[in-house]
């Protein structure tokens, strides 16, 4: 199959401290079959100036500034999805990092799983740099079913865990724009309830390409 275009969507609000590092991790991908939308929810710091200075030479990165009252990440993610040209969507937070092979590895697995509505990968934590923390977000693969886990607040994957087929994501209506928290719980439980077809990759270091700034939860990496 030809390499599909992947649209990376980054909602942001007052992230001048972290967002440049996040965008650079996107720019450093070792393949070119991606585009990136940064949706600013009305930042009052220097986020807009810093981002526009960084991306001015990149035609595949777009900055969208919302002029209306801030409504949260769910609205921003839906705007990104609506503007996306890609066959597939990834939702990345504006203080996270991805490895240089993030897009390559996700594209590679599509060769054998292109009929799925989404494919889930594990996420790991970091303190300052990728690899400096030996914890993952959660175990993707447990004996209990995923829907039960979500309802038990044992979220098996993060907001960036899935690689979504855009058509399937839009089919279930995207994010609930009234949800101001637990947006990962909302979209993922909805996808499962609607019967979207998906697979999960294994909980191994080889499948870790996405990194979240550390908090106090997590499991040891195998």
Q: Where are the domains of the chain?
A: 6-220
Q: Whole-number mean pLDDT of the chain?
A: 92
pLDDT along the chain (222 residues), means of 10: 85 95 98 96 94 96 86 92 97 97 96 96 94 91 95 94 98 86 86 97 93 66 50
How high is the pLDDT of residue 183? 78
Specify whether domain 6-220 bears CATH 3.90.550.10.
yes
Enumerate the β-bridge partners of residue 163. Answer: 119
Q: Which two tokens stand for residue 172?
A: 């279930």
Report pTM: 0.93
How high is the pLDDT of residue 7? 98
How high is the pLDDT of residue 220? 53
How high is the pLDDT of residue 2? 62
| Nearest of 90, 94, 88, 82 to residue 38 by alpha carbon | 94
How high is the pLDDT of residue 192? 97
Q: Which two tokens stand for residue 211?
A: 């990194």
How high is the pLDDT of residue 180? 66
How high is the pLDDT of residue 218? 46
How high is the pLDDT of residue 182? 73
């Amino acid at each position: 199959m030809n390499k599909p275009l992947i649209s990376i969507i980054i909602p942001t609000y007052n992230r001048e401290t972290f967002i440049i590092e996040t965008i650079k991790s996107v720019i450093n991908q070792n393949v070119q079959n991606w585009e990136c939308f940064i949706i600013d929810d009305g930042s009052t710091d220097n986020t807009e100036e810093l981002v526009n200075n960084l991306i001015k030479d990149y035609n595949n990165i777009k900055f969208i500034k919302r002029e209306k009252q801030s409504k949260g990440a769910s609205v921003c993610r839906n705007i990104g999805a609506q503007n996306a040209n890609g066959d597939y969507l990834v939702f990345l937070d504006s203080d996270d990092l991805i490895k240089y092979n993030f897009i390559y590895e996700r594209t590679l697995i599509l060769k054998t799983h292109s009929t799925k509505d989404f494919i889930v990968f594990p996420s790991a934590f970091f303190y300052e740099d990728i690899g400096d923390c030996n914890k993952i977000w959660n175990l993707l693969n447990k004996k209990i079913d995923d829907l039960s886990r979500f309802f038990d607040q044992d979220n098996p994957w993060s907001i960036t865990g899935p690689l979504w087929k855009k058509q399937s994501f839009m089919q279930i209506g995207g994010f609930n724009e009234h949800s101001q928290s637990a947006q990962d719980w909302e979209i993922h439980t909805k996808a499962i309830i609607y019967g979207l077809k998906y697979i999960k990759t294994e909980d191994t270091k080889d499948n870790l390409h996405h990194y979240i700034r550390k908090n106090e939860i997590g499991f040891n990496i195998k």
